[in-house]
Amino acid sequence: MAKVLPISSSQLSIFFILSFFTITFVAGESYGYARTLDRKLYNLKKEKLSHFRLFWHDTYSGKNPSAVKVVSSPTNSSTLFGAISMIDDPLTEGPELSSKLVGKAQGMYASAAQEEFGLMMVMNFVFMEGKYNGSTITILGRNKVFSDVREMPVIGGSGLFRYARGYVHASTSKNDMTTGDAVVEYNIYVLHY
Ligand SMILES: *[C@@H]1O[C@H](CO)[C@@H](O)[C@H](O)[C@H]1NC(C)=O
Ligand SMILES: *[C@@H]1O[C@H](CO)[C@@H](O)[C@H](O)[C@H]1NC(C)=O
């Protein structure tokens, strides 16, 4: 059994006095270009967890492709190592492209693996709807596209998603191997204020 040492009230008050001086001293260190802000004044009181379920439409075919290959693989590898595509993909509420448009996935992805087919994704999900209009979530991660569920980090955001962090789970719902067109379900779990 651990023995609990009794602490007298005078010991306690010495402790509080010492911590008070330490805090004052540290906070008192001043730089002209930096200062500590009261987070309450910036509306950063309570962090929320939000979930979004969106469908990402990557279309190479047709007259209005939302994805374009900007660099072809300079090697002839089966994993297309080195290929880069730029995207401005619609994000919709349902799996059909005709369902409600909620935002766009703007960014690029590159074949970053030599041994298997794996992409490095760099995307800003820009919301275009309701209170989220104009706010963005930034996703950067590894996408092993032939796995059932791929997890990628949410590394930040803007607007309503300032200070965002979290992850997405991406799973392919449709994939046309001839055209390269794909529909992917994105489940986004994000902490923000
Ligand atoms: C890739 O293949 C093409 C034709 O099949 C060939 O002309 C080219 O030299 C190859 N490139 C490399 C880097 O092997
Ligand atoms: C979103 O914001 C833009 C301006 O930033 C505005 O033109 C547009 O109508 C808004 N859309 C919705 C659905 O509120």
Q: What is the pLDDT of residue 7?
A: 59
Cβ contact 132:188 at 8 Å: no
pLDDT tens profile 24-44: 555 556 789 999 899 888 888
Query: What is the CA(80)–ligand 1 centre distance, in A?
Result: 12
Distance of CA 124 to the CA centre of its chain: 8
Among 21-25, 36-40, 133-137, 141-145, the range scoring the smallest mean pLDDT is 21-25
* Mean pLDDT calculated for residue range 95-124: 97
Residues 135/161, Cβ–Cβ less than 8 Å? yes
Task: Return phi, psi of residue 17, to 5°.
Answer: -65, -45
* Residues ≥6 apart with Cβ < 8 Å to 114: 77, 79, 81
Q: In the prediction, which pLDDT does 40 show?
A: 87
- Per-residue confidence band for 132, with pLDDT thresholds at 50, 70 and 90: very high
Q: Whose CA is nearest to atom 10 of ligand 1?
A: 76
Report how far residue 59's alpha carbon sits from residue 57's, in angstroms, rounded to the nearest whole number.
Answer: 6
The residues, any chain, with a CB within 8 Å of residue 105's CB and separated by 6 or more, are: 56, 87, 88, 89, 90, 91, 123, 124, 125, 126
Please, is 70 exposed, middle or buried when counting C-beta atoms within 10 Å of its C-beta (0-12, 13-18, 19+)?
A: exposed
DSSP string covering 7-37: --HHHHHHHHHHHHHHHHHHHH--BTTB---
Please tell me the residue having the least CA distance from ligand 1 atom 13. Answer: 75
| Residue 11: pLDDT over 50 | yes
Give the ligand at the shortest distance from the Cα of 73.
Answer: 1
Mean pLDDT, range 82-98, rounded to an integer: 97
* Architecture of the domain spanning 48-192: Beta Barrel (2.40)
**pLDDT interval class at 177 (50, 70, 90):** very high
What per-residue confidence (pLDDT) applies to 45? 85
Question: What's the chain's average pLDDT?
Answer: 90
pLDDT tens-digit map of 111-131: 999 999 999 999 999 999 999
DSSP per position, 55-89: EEEE--SSSS-SEEEEE--SS--TT-TT-EEEEEE
- 75 CB near ligand 1 (under 6 Å): yes
Mutate to test the pocket of ligand 1, among 71, 72, 75, 76 (most ligand atoms within 8 A of CB): 76
Q: Is the pLDDT of residue 193 over 50?
A: yes
